[in-house]
Amino acid sequence: MEERKVTAVFRLEKKIAFVTGAGSGIGESIARLFAQQGAHVVLADVREDAARRVAGEIQETGGSARVQSLDVAEESQVKAAIEQVAALEGRLDILVNNAGISHVGSLLETSLEDWERLMRVNACGVFLCAREGVRQMLAQSPHGGTIINMASVAAMIGIERRLPYCASKGAVLALTRSIAIDFATQGIRCNAICPGTVQTPFVEGYLARNFAGHEDEVRQQLHARQPIGRMGQSDEIAYAALYLASDEAAFVTGSAIVIDGGWTAK
């Protein structure tokens, strides 16, 4: 794909951004783009080595970034991470809750352990990060901040054999709307992005784990289920996050931006 050129709008000069799951895929693209647009980015990931690779490349191209080792499902780690942002960066302007995991299975194919694992990372992780992020943003009053939650089209429609994933992303969408309403008058915006299937290491790992030996066949199915005829690219999601993070989106809160190649329009 041709490289997109960003204009002078949607700049994030001197803003402090905290991006979870920033070591690969959509989170990596968001971290890179935010740094390109002038933000100092904290790359948070349970895979610290992956985040260090991305942060190093951002720094090599003149961007500002540091790494935060973080398991979003661990309350003590989340609290410590946001406290460190306050101590090192002085404030938190943008929180991107992107970290997530997947599971293949219907109701009868999902164990309680599977359910709890998905909800712990995908829903509880967003709850914990958003809660600590809001506390910090309120302490910065009147400056506030903005939260971007990575939901999914799975929050809006049923997808075959994706029960706990759909449920967890539905929770993310509900959290987004509740946070937006509760803090709309206190300088905090909260929005969600609902991607369709995006071609990332996350998806490739899902194929390898669940469809070993049939990856090409299933990959083509993933391309074909979106009317536009292909999976999305991570930078296409990152540009939506950039808009939501920017001052140009000052009137946008409680929204869910769908980026799915027409999947949910069918």
Name 51's Cβ contacts closer than 8 Å, sequence gap at least 6: 22, 23, 43, 44, 45, 67, 68, 69
Q: For residue 1, what pLDDT is reported?
A: 43
Residue 254 Cα distances to 12, 179, 251, angstroms: 21, 8, 10
* pLDDT reported for residue 5: 56
The residue behind tokens 């329009």 is 265
Exposure class string for 79-104: b at 16+ Cβ within 10 A, else e: eebbeebbeebeebbbbbbbbbbbbb
Distance CA 180, CA 237 (A): 21
Q: State mean pLDDT over 198-222.
A: 85
Average pLDDT over residues 169-197: 97
Using the structure block, give the residue that is written with the tokens 């400056």: 143
Alpha-carbon gap, residue 120 to 111, rounded angstroms: 14
Beta bridge partners of 65: 41
pLDDT tier at 202, thresholds 50, 70, 90: confident
CA–CA gap between residue 236 and residue 42 (Å, rounded)? 21
State what percent of residues in the chain have pLDDT above 70.
97
Q: Are 42 and 87 in contact (CB under 8 A)?
A: no
Mean pLDDT computed over every residue of the chain: 94
CA–CA dist 92, 182 (Å, integer): 19
Confidence label for 148 from pLDDT (cuts 50, 70 and 90): very high
What spatial distance separates the first Cα and last Cα of the chain, rounded to whole Å? 26
pLDDT digits (tens, 9 = 90+) for 20-74: 999 999 999 999 999 999 999 999 999 999 999 999 999 999 999 999 999 999 9
Please, is 27 exposed, middle or buried when counting C-beta atoms within 10 Å of its C-beta (0-12, 13-18, 19+)?
buried
What is the DSSP annotation of 112-133?
HHHHHHHIIIIIIHHHHHHHHH
Confidence (pTM)? 0.93
**Catalytic site includes residue 165:** yes
Residue 184 CB contacts under 8 Å (≥ 6 apart), including other chains:
253, 254
